[in-house]
Amino acid sequence: MAGNGNAGKAKTVSGKTATSKAVTGKTGAGTAGEAMAGGSTLEIRSDGTGNADILEAAAACFMEQGFSATSIDDVARRLGATKGRIYHYYASKTDLFFDVHREGMDRLFAAVETASAMPGTAGSRLARMLKAHALASMENHTYIAVVVQGVHMHRLAATTPAQRRTLDAVMDMRRRYERLFRSMLDTALEDGSAISESPSLTIKAALGAINWMSIWYRPKAGETAADREALAEQIVRPLRFGFEPRRG
Amino acid sequence: MAGNGNAGKAKTVSGKTATSKAVTGKTGAGTAGEAMAGGSTLEIRSDGTGNADILEAAAACFMEQGFSATSIDDVARRLGATKGRIYHYYASKTDLFFDVHREGMDRLFAAVETASAMPGTAGSRLARMLKAHALASMENHTYIAVVVQGVHMHRLAATTPAQRRTLDAVMDMRRRYERLFRSMLDTALEDGSAISESPSLTIKAALGAINWMSIWYRPKAGETAADREALAEQIVRPLRFGFEPRRG
DNA sequence: GGCTTACAACATACTCGGTAGTATGCATTT
DNA sequence: AAATGCATACTACCGAGTATGTTGTAAGCC
């Protein structure tokens, strides 16, 4: 029963001893301990028609009220639906949250990896990545707000058994993401296109400055892509050059 | 009844139509619209013997689990006490949260205002303030984690009537705090001890980078004051000089 | 200095609304 | 006719706030 090849419809489940719907590892026979890129341990429906709306509504609710203050009924209400619809796709509120988180991370990865493949010195590529990160954070700010919240989810959802696994996968995703920036900085340090006394903290400072946008940034009415572009540029500039005047 | 000079014991209350304990504005007859530094609209006991422990426990719980996931019983359990003790001093969970928030802001103000009074160019004083902010954030990281959460409290606790006032006071405190940095940067821009194309975003980036520490920073076992000093220095440095190499 | 009174500083016991999760019903599609 | 894609109805529990009881202690009185 568990592990049949039916890849058409898999409810997002985490733990539980239930009989029919407990499907923890789905895509093929995943050996425990795998950490594939992009595909976490939890899974959604294949065609994202129904879920996209749910994800969108959930992301908005989680952003506005936070995880625990958001009720499933809140999400359903925003959808113009009821709990039944949500629980048809997700086994628990936590699973829903993690799926929003995963979606957000996916979008970040896509944006930043594209930027990292651009030509130029490692230093300028790092700047591009930071700008891409800022831009993606603005364009998907509801999802990214959830991603930010997810950092705190260390002990919170550690209740269910295999739910812990999905959380580990999410945490791993975060680490890999930060490593993307870190390794680019290391390259830049080697070829002299960047300087840093403590690369780890330099990255944390830069990413922190941008992630903090999820606190204060809200899209203005009539905001254009050019506006966001300018904003991203202006938030990255002080990180590149600092506020100390340059002489020479 | 309301507004008597009894400054010895005032329960922290926000709204409510209750008879005996509704004391919203206490220190003298505060005209509505005042924005005094340090003294918010809500108030605690004068001698902080009993509350200090409550604040400490509450800050720890709020940091670990967040506001809405923390129950009053959680705080009481950490205190080795019961609800009764907490509700003896605070009228609601929200009031408790705001008091932790206020305490955190008070400590930040104290640290940064001291730093801003130091000699040197405006640019170097700004750097000192940022470092002081980082240091205070580490030394009071439980409280500061609550302060960070407080940013999201816009719509959340807007339920009770006069509770809204205390929230406004808190928000005002935050703005004044950021303005401390902003005006110092403006001074530095005038005398040429700092550069910035967009002062507002430069401040947001710098403060964001440091505030983000409340996400990843946790005191190590056996950590010394010198360790924190070094950490503060290393987090501020990239903000001053950037990661782009300086020529000349 | 004893006695009482009153209040502070809690603990205990209870209410009651909200919420996660479940069970089931029902229409539509395949 | 079987499964999908929901909605409706129900349960069980947790948690905020309240009401009330209990103990220590300082104050007033003689």
Domain segments of chain A as ranges: 93-241
Cβ of B220 near strand C (under 7 Å)? The reply is no
Cβ of B83 near strand D (under 7 Å)? The reply is yes
Mean pLDDT computed over A87-99: 94
A contacts of B234 (beta carbons < 8 Å): 197-198, 201
Question: Is pLDDT at A43 greater than 80 in this prediction?
Answer: no
Question: Is pLDDT at A18 greater than 60 in this prediction?
Answer: no
Cα of A42 to nearest chain B Cα, Å: 24
B contacts of A202 (beta carbons < 8 Å): 238, 243
Cβ of B5 near strand D (under 7 Å)? The reply is no
Q: Which residues of B104-126 are buried (b: 16+ CB within 10 A; e: fewer)?
A: bbbbbbebbeebbeeeeebbbbb
CA dist list (Å): B188 to A244, B125, B127, B178, B234 = 10, 9, 11, 16, 22
Q: Under CATH, to which class is A93-241 assigned?
A: mainly alpha
Q: Mutate which of B244, B246, B247 to disrupt the A interface (most A C-beta within 10 Å)?
A: B244
> Which band of pLDDT confidence, cut at 50, 70 and 90, is reported for residue B155?
low
CA of residue B182 to C1' of nucleotide C8, angstroms: 46
B contacts of A198 (beta carbons < 8 Å): 234, 237
Cβ of A11 near strand C (under 7 Å)? The reply is no
pLDDT digits (tens, 9 = 90+) for B211-231: 999 999 999 999 999 999 999
Lowest mean pLDDT of B42-46, B60-64, B116-120, B149-153, name the range.
B42-46
Q: Is B247 exposed, middle or buried (0-12, 13-18, 19+ CB in 10 A)?
A: exposed
pLDDT digits (tens, 9 = 90+) for A122-165: 999 999 999 999 999 999 999 999 999 998 886 665 667 767 88
Nearest to B196 among A213, A243, A247 (CB): A243
Find the residue in B nearest to A156 (Cα).
Answer: B65
| Residue pair A26/A10 in contact by the 8 Å Cβ criterion | yes
Lowest mean pLDDT of A15-29, A136-150, B96-110, B187-201, name the range.
A15-29
Mean pLDDT computed over A163-192: 93
DSSP H helical segments within chain B, as ranges?
49-65, 72-79, 83-89, 93-116, 122-139, 141-150, 163-191, 199-211, 213-216, 225-241
Tokens of B186: 């403006």
Mean pLDDT computed over B129-142: 98
The β-bridge partners of A12 are: A90
Considering chain B, what percentage of its residues have pLDDT values greater than 90?
A: 70
Cβ separation B152–A248 shorter than 8 A: no
Cβ separation B211–A210 shorter than 8 A: no
Q: What is the mean pLDDT of chain B?
A: 83
Nearest to A194 among B155, B208, B245 (CB): B245
Give domain B92-241's CATH architecture.
Answer: Orthogonal Bundle (1.10)
